[in-house]
Structure 1
């Protein structure tokens, strides 16, 4: 396995920490392969990176997450600001990358391609949680608020249990969601409240990500090859539906990957997906556009 070297980059209002596996510039002439997510940081991509020993792979922690610090006095996570950070990071890497963005990272990637279309050769957007593209968007935003209310009123365990229930819901959302909160203990989650309220997934500080409206004309006009993807095990769930709806807006077929929303994960968080199969599918998608 190629050893990662860690670097920092000062950007307006933050210092980004990123890891590079392989030479810069890449020895084979291909652009670096950049993996991004949100609110997950670089620590979740170690296993996936190991399946690309022939590529220079870069991972990073978005501002305010993991090892990347903020000095802007803000807490909100927005695709626009994070896309600006990535634009500066990509310039540091040589000016062009292939990009896998997962979850909120996929949303950031969509804005990056819209605002800086020459930065990315191929962009694989894996399960972007774009609630506004759904036919039941109003109900989806209301369900998101119920999850956040559970977190703020009852603590992390209750909020995470509600979040799991939301992301597991199949089909269009109705008023039934959240009428009865799930028991955190049923998911092996703590039932007590430690008093913290800063979780980036549950607190609402990432609402700009789920509310983001993609610029479809800019995405279709960009020289970037944009691939909208979702895991087969996610079929019918919220992020499968958002991915499918976006693919329809871009007049493309949804590209199906193995496993689920975290299908690229190894044992980083104790809930492994199918990283080897995910990597093989990603390689196939990237090579088909080379």
Structure 2
């Protein structure tokens, strides 16, 4: 177990394998375990770093938090981790809201990033019907406050993700503390966050937008397509849906490994 002291938190992190530094950033539920099988596959050719994002599980908060700038803080945390490990610049893969964090990292700390793979960022501002989805996420939050975690999560996953995703999500072990933190500080805040497209365009040659093949038509896949178009980049598709790294881990890891190999010269 390793921890890194950052402003206002202690980050739990792990490193595995050897080779170019590759950092994996999770969305919900904010913990390293979601990438366990991917780490096992990549560790033979990469130094893979995974961590719990602040406020989730083993990454404990330490003092007051500025929730008005939480996305920036999340990005700063990754930058601190890369600098701490001393192997950067890093290949960075982020999924869902972790992809939003990764994009913010590149915009704020470009020297820490070698290649960025944002996988299905929930970037609602890129979508023509983004206001509809923002309203829906607010309704899910209200449902959480009125009826609790499970009814809200059921509504959220069944409207937002492909069937292969929400079947797995329904069976996954619950961590109510993580879920409550996500509902309060991420569900309504990260999807409508404004991406710094000007800063990202300046580093577009480092960005490989990605999405799941089974996610087509769902909002995060659509956002990935829009991001690729705004940056004049090709979209790279991987097996499975929004959480293909869990539901279809062996094939997802193998194809992600081949993609990463192409980024290492």
2:259 matches 1:278: no
Whichever of the two has the greater Rg, that structure is 1
TM-score (norm 1): 0.80
Q: Tell me: CA distance 1:209–1:164, structure 2 relative to 1, closer, same or farther (3 Å).
A: same
Please, what is the CA RMSD of the aligned residues?
Answer: 2.6
The answer as to whether partners of 2:212 and 2:240 remain within 8 angstroms in 1 is yes
Deviation at 1:210, TM superposition (A): 1.1
Partner of 2:112: 119
Partner of 1:106: 99
2:68 matches 1:73: no
Deviation at 1:83, TM superposition (A): 0.7
Aligned ranges for residues 1-290 of structure 1 at < 5 Å? 6-22=1-17, 30-39=19-28, 40-52=30-42, 53-74=44-65, 76=67, 78-94=70-86, 95-168=88-161, 199-222=180-203, 225-265=206-246, 273-290=247-264
Partner of 1:175: none
Q: In 2, Cα distance between the equivalents of 1:187 and 1:119?
A: 34
Q: Tell me: CA distance 1:169–1:141, structure 2 relative to 1, closer, same or farther (3 Å).
A: farther
Deviates more, 1:59-68 or 1:245-254: 245-254
Partner of 1:269: none
Q: Tell me: CA distance 1:132–1:260, structure 2 relative to 1, closer, same or farther (3 Å).
A: same
The answer as to whether partners of 1:100 and 1:125 remain within 8 angstroms in 2 is yes
Deviation at 1:200, TM superposition (A): 3.2
TM-score (norm 2): 0.87
State the secondary structure of the residue aligned to 1:44: helix
State the secondary structure of the residue aligned to 1:261: coil
Query: What is the aligned length?
Result: 253
Deviation at 1:226, TM superposition (A): 0.6
Partner of 1:177: none
